[in-house]
Structure 1
Amino acid sequence: MMPRPLLKNTFNLTYRKIPILAIGREIYCDTSLVAEALEHFFPESEGYRTLYPLAADGRSYRPMIRGFASYWTDRPLFRVACGLMPASIWASAFGRDREGLIGHSIDAEKLGRKIPENLSKLDLQLSMLEPLFANDSGDEGFVFSTESPSLADISLFYELKWGEEIAKGKYTEGITQGETKDGELEGAAPVLNAQRYPGLWRWYKMMEVYFENLPSTEETCKNFEEVVKKMRESPALGTRSLLLPTPRSTHAELDKKTGCVEGALVSIAPDDTGRDDPTLGTLIAMSPEEVVIKPQKLDPPATVDVRIHFPRLGFVVRPSPASKL
């Protein structure tokens, strides 16, 4: 379904993907920017955990960790994991929905026949990862030798865990809205196991225990109107706080040449899927890594006056002629 009705009607946000983060009346899209916003507004210096702990050598590998999560786990590894989904999922309402997202038809039977090929591709990914964790002592460690899991560990574990379980047929009933039942398939076991990749497997099981032992802090709000009410009552960020910190400000000369200047109507869309359903809005602020817009008014109008933040990594920002969705 394009776009998501809840986001479109509440915020006039036509962006399709999840998750999104709301801090007051500021909406942050895409995991890469959500992580940076959480790190900025809930810093380690105030007692919160960090996604970027220091490495054993005392250095911060934050740029490398961000790149690992965005360019490796969220791209080639994620695509491989999607390729392990049973054909029954692609033949359901889920597959029909994804056809609209990616812009072309899906052959469920063909994708089913490609699972062995995608298992081989997963084996490639695991082979590249194994040296990170292989050592003679058997000591447990994290991806960048940090004292606790970083965003790199979290993103890698999530992709492998989701890929392993979806390949087995887990979640099938929920994903297909009841069209098919959960299965008990072989899944990724031929390549993701303790014998083939002992170091990676040891880390994987350690991460399972780590997450199982974390205290639950999630609160579910059953009344969405209460959330909307709190958002309306929240103060807006000031001009100096609107953008997340970056080493340099936006390049004004290049912005002028591309037409992405304050006050311009711009179109923002992912550079992979969902490009046919961009979010339109007035450009409020921009940095080398982030763009902030006031969304274009749609029918019905938004119920909350928000500003929407997108990362520039993985998204295309361009001037757009006025239009309505």
Structure 2
Amino acid sequence: RKTPVLQIGADIYCDTALIARRLELEKALPAFFPEGQEMIVATFAAWADLVVFQHAVSLVFQPESIAVRFGNMSPEAIKAFIADRAGLFSGGSATRLSAEQARHQWPTLMARLEQQLQREQGDFLFGEPSIADFALAHPLWFLKATPVTSPLVDAYPAVSAWLGRVMGFGHGA
């Protein structure tokens, strides 16, 4: 299941990684894949999409966070949302990371990221903005959406400052 996000002429692109590559062909500025760093930023973005996102989802979908996140939704809307998400895992091979694993591993992931950002030359993960920054910002933005999970990002000052810079790009047009 994919949600169309980009249309160029009759072509509709639904996959985030494919969209980034397609926009790169349009000479996106800043470049999503800076010259000479294509492999490292693509690999880092894949890690963010697979590992960090899975941790963020596990942490966000805990009862205390859900209560805040969905506090203004009707019970019917919450049931529909839960049924929709359950369908994503039904009959597939995707597995969910347990909340215990996510809580245990999260500090290590963030400490490594904090260290990387403290050592980096420039304001972004690899000096200049790239797909790596945008891919990692997404799950962290997700965590920042409630006061329950926001401290999981706020506890890391370099990460928080970096996220502010990335989010400063806005949501596109």
Question: Which residue of 1 is the match for residue 18 of structure 2?
Answer: 33
CA, structure 1 residues 94+203, in 2 after alignment: closer, same or farther (shift >3 Å)?
A: same
Distance 1:144 1:49 in 2: 13
CA, structure 1 residues 61+198, in 2 after alignment: closer, same or farther (shift >3 Å)?
A: same
Question: Which residue of 1 is the match for residue 88 of structure 2?
Answer: 101
Matched, 1:51 2:32: yes
CA, structure 1 residues 202+139, in 2 after alignment: closer, same or farther (shift >3 Å)?
A: farther
Note the C-alpha offset of 1:116. Answer: 6.1
Distance 1:19 1:75 in 2: 20
- If asked which structure has higher relative contact order (CA below 8 Å, sep 6+), I would say 2
TM-score (ref. length: structure 1): 0.42
State the AA in 2 paired with 1:77. V
CA, structure 1 residues 200+68, in 2 after alignment: closer, same or farther (shift >3 Å)?
A: same
Q: Which has the larger radius of gyration?
A: 1
Distance 1:25 1:103 in 2: 32
| 1:67-216 alignment, distance < 5 Å | 67-70=43-46, 72-83=47-58, 84-87=60-63, 88=66, 92-103=79-90, 115=99, 118-135=102-119, 140-146=122-128, 149-165=129-145, 168=146, 185-189=147-151, 191-193=152-154, 196-208=155-167, 210-211=168-169
CA contact (8 A) 1:39 1:51 kept: yes
For this pair of structures, how many residues does the alignment match? 155
Structure with the bigger percentage of strand: 1
Deviations 1:187-240 (A, max 9, x none): 241x322xx4332222223333x325xxx863xxxxxxxxxxxxxxxxxxxxxx
3-state SS of paired residue (1:187): coil
Distance 1:18 1:36 in 2: 17
CA contact (8 A) 2:4 2:12 kept: no
Find runs of 4+ consecutive structure 1 residues off by over 6 angstroms. Answer: none
Deviations 1:17-62 (A, max 9, x none): 234422212232311111111111x115xxx5421335xxxxx201
3-state SS of paired residue (2:169): helix
Note the C-alpha offset of 1:139. Answer: 7.0
CA, structure 1 residues 22+125, in 2 after alignment: closer, same or farther (shift >3 Å)?
A: same
Matched, 1:23 2:8: yes
Q: Which runs of 5+ in 2 are unaligned?
A: 71-77, 92-96
Note the C-alpha offset of 1:143. Answer: 0.6
CA contact (8 A) 2:118 2:158 kept: yes
CA, structure 1 residues 139+198, in 2 after alignment: closer, same or farther (shift >3 Å)?
A: farther
Structure with the bigger percentage of helix: 2
Q: Which runs of 5+ in 1 are unaligned?
A: 1-15, 55-59, 105-110, 169-184, 219-325
CA, structure 1 residues 92+118, in 2 after alignment: closer, same or farther (shift >3 Å)?
A: farther
CA contact (8 A) 1:21 1:29 kept: yes
Deviations 1:275-296 (A, max 9, x none): xxxxxxxxxxxxxxxxxxxxxx
TM-score (ref. length: structure 2): 0.74
- Percent identity over the alignment is 28
